[in-house]
Amino acid sequence: MKKKTQSSNLIQTSSLPDIVFILLFFFMVVTHIKEADPLMEIHEPEASCTDRISNASLVDHIYIGKMDGKEVLQLDDGIAQLQDIRPWVEDNVIRRADPDKSKIIRALHVDGKIKMERVSQVKQELRKADALKVLYSTIPQSK
């Protein structure tokens, strides 16, 4: 009489961790952090002396421009009011892993035709939220 050999219906999973690691590494390499897209057209002023920010992950972007003839403030992907700035700053500080909020930079992207009064109002709200590191975004001066 012949011996019956038992066939194994088990799936080999020994290479599964390698595959998972390769997929994880692939997505870490090809994925980038999404920045907010301005909902309005902004013509930033030119500057003769500009500098790049070394760590772009520490930058929060604030857009001030015109939409349908009105001055509009944009925080992240949505239109906002002046009173929305403080909660937005606090949420962005909490969202980051680094507890040192003094490292976070707020970049103002301001259309060249916006009155300075509106920009001053935004800066006052940033001061009230203890967001003191503010810069103006510009384009390099064409030669």
Question: Residue 71: CB partners within 8 Å, gap ≥ 6?
Answer: 64, 65, 114, 115, 118
pTM here is 0.71
Helix (H) or strand (E) run with residue 86 in it: helix 85-95
- Mean pLDDT calculated for residue range 80-87: 94
Instruction: Encode pLDDT of 12-70 as tens digits.
Output: 888 889 999 999 988 888 876 666 678 888 888 888 888 888 877 788 899 999 988 89
Residue 34 has what pLDDT? 65
Distance CA 14, CA 131 (A): 51
